[in-house]
Chains A and B, each alone.
Chain A
Amino acid sequence: EAGVAQSPRYKIIEKRQSVAFWCNPISGHATLYWYQQILGQGPKLLIQFQNNGVVDDSQLPKDRFSAERLKGVDSTLKIQPAKLEDSAVYLCASSLRATSGSGGSYEQYFGPGTRLTVT
């Protein structure tokens, strides 16, 4: 079974430029997550989708970050304009959690991440 795919693996941009990351979850996984992992810290959730609806985006800096999940499969995370503090690894994960409030927490399977450097 193929795992979570992400691209690109690495990206270097200058501040104020824009960037987009792509994620393809494990086939059949209804829920998709984007986490931000700053060096030396644990990952922090940016946004959670269930199918193509947003479950939680409370920690997404909406003035510069946006995300979409068209047709409930692939997802794209965009930053525009980027700031120096956005330098981090952006991790995508997916899980079988099918229904919000379904009463469970499932294993989340992570992709390899995209390492973003903003100069």
Chain B
Amino acid sequence: AQKVTQAQTEISVVEKEDVTLDCVYETRDTTYYLFWYKQPPSGELVFLIRRNSFDEQNEISGRYSWNFQKSTSSFNFTITASQVVDSAVYFCALSEVYVRNTDKLIFGTGTRLQVFP
């Protein structure tokens, strides 16, 4: 069965600290996609990244980086030098598209990040 686990319910850091948000997924499909979304207090989900299961290269975008490891079924997200504006709920999501013909997102329960000045 497909499942996404974000074990960290809430993380608090002080500005400029680095923080890593964990994501572990379960799937029986060999081809799938992984996503991260940010949900600020306004409520709108903001797309951050999409990765194909065949591409295990780590990705860096500014202060954001992602570590994808198929061997441990993890897709972790690191924010370097956190800022107050990073405060939000972050969701990891899985899409199994090839077998079921739907690319619906299966979300984890989210990690609330609070960055204090």
| Residues of A in contact with B (beta carbons under 8 Å apart) | 31, 33, 35, 40-45, 48, 55-56, 89, 91, 93, 95, 97, 100-101, 103-113, 115
Stretch at the interface among B56-64, B66-74, B75-83, B102-110: B102-110
- Is the CB–CB distance between A55 and B102 below 8 Å? yes
- Other-chain residue from B47, B95, B104 in contact with A109 (beta carbon distance below 8 A): B47
- Interface residues as binary, B75-114 with A (CB distance below 8 Å gives 1, 0 otherwise): 0000000000000000101010110111111011110000
- Interface residues as binary, B19-42 with A (CB distance below 8 Å gives 1, 0 otherwise): 000000000000011010100001
A41 to B32, CA, bound (A): 22
- Is the CB–CB distance between B109 and A40 below 8 Å? yes
The listed residue with most A CB atoms (<10 A of its CB), out of B33, B43, B46, B50, is B43
- Other-chain residue from B44, B98, B105, B107 in contact with A111 (beta carbon distance below 8 A): B44
What band does the interface of chain B fall in when counting residues whose beta carbon is under 8 Å from A?
A: 20 to 34
A107 to B42, CA, bound (A): 20
Q: List 6 A-B contacts (CB under 8 A).
A: A45-B104, A48-B104, A100-B102, A106-B103, A112-B44, A113-B44
| Residues of B in contact with A (beta carbons under 8 Å apart) | 4, 32-33, 35, 37, 42-47, 50, 91, 93, 95, 97-98, 100-105, 107-110
Known: A42-B93, A110-B44. A56 touches B109 (CB 8 A): no
The listed residue with most A CB atoms (<10 A of its CB), out of B98, B101, B102, is B102
Residues of A within 8 A of B45 (CB): 43, 91, 93, 110
- Other-chain residue from B37, B44, B95, B108 in contact with A105 (beta carbon distance below 8 A): B95
A55 to B32, CA, bound (A): 18
Residues of B within 8 A of A97 (CB): 103
- Is the CB–CB distance between B97 and A43 below 8 Å? no
Residues of B within 8 A of A103 (CB): 97-98
Known: A108-B47, A112-B42, A113-B43. A56 touches B107 (CB 8 A): no
- Is the CB–CB distance between A100 and B101 below 8 Å? yes
**A-B pairs, 8 with minimum CB distance:** A42-B107, A105-B103, A56-B102, A110-B45, A105-B95, A105-B33, A45-B104, A105-B97
A10 to B32, CA, bound (A): 35
Residues of B within 8 A of A48 (CB): 102, 104
